[in-house]
Amino acid sequence: MNNEQLEKAIRLKEEIRELDIFISLAKRDGFWERIAFKKEFTLITNVHGFREDNNQYRLSKELSHKVIEVLEKQLDEWKKELENI
pLDDT above 90 for 78: yes
The rounded percent of the chain whose pLDDT value lies above 70 is: 65
As a whole number of angstroms, the distance between CA 30 and CA 39 comes to: 22
Identify the pLDDT of residue 55: 67
User: What is the mean predicted confidence (pLDDT) over 80-85?
Assistant: 92
38 vs 9, higher pLDDT: 9
Predicted TM-score (pTM) of the model is 0.66
User: What is the mean predicted confidence (pLDDT) over 48-69?
Assistant: 68
Burial (0-12, 13-18, 19+ Cβ within 10 Å), 42: exposed
pLDDT confidence of 49, banded at 50, 70, 90? very low
